[in-house]
Amino acid sequence: MENFYIEKKIYYHDTDLAGIVYYANYLKYMEEARTEYFSAKGIDFKKLFEEEGIQFLVMRVEIDYKAPARYRDVIRIFTEIESVKFSVIKLFQKITKDNITLAEARSTFVCVGRNLKPISIPEEIQESLTNQKFNS
């Protein structure tokens, strides 16, 4: 797995009454990690949409919960590209705490134009996503 990750501290508002992270919040954490991942690859989604009308929409998310995160934990959310083809990006993400896997997810995104119809992922984005380097 690529070594790209973000860290996140769990706050009380992330949890249920028992202090365990509410299950849907894992999707928010993964969205934050994806955003930072693409940013580290030099991809600015806001600029891409404003200038070219291109956006990436979620087609599918499959998540497996393995262990709970709790109030005040610090978790790591890892993100890596599984594949980039024509108009589709597939990602794998893993959330850990102290090297224990809490959740794993696979997500599929489709690249669309202003009319929300699939289009080919621009070549420079494909190159950036398949390159192992990150911007500093």
Token pair, residue 96, equals 């850990």
What tens digit of pLDDT does each residue of 65-108 get? 999 999 999 999 999 999 999 999 999 999 999 999 999 999 99
Report the catalytic residues: 16
Higher-scoring residue by pLDDT: 116, 134: 116
DSSP characters over 8-56: EE--GGGB-TTSBBPTTHHHHHHHHHHHHHHHHTT--HHHHHHHH--EE
Tell me how far apart the alpha carbons of residues 13 and 117 are, in angstroms, rounded to a whole number.
37
Classify each residue of 110-129 as buried b or exposed e, where b means 16 or more C-beta atoms within 10 Å of its C-beta.
bbbeeeeeebebeeebbebb
Give the pLDDT of residue 2. 57
Give the pLDDT of residue 133. 72
Tell me how far apart the alpha carbons of residues 31 and 118 are, in angstroms, rounded to a whole number.
21
Tell me how far apart the alpha carbons of residues 98 and 13 are, in angstroms, rounded to a whole number.
22
What tens digit of pLDDT does each residue of 115-133 get? 999 999 999 999 999 887 7
| Domains of the chain, CATH where assigned | 5-130 (3.10.129.10)
Question: What number is the average pLDDT over the span 52-75?
Answer: 98
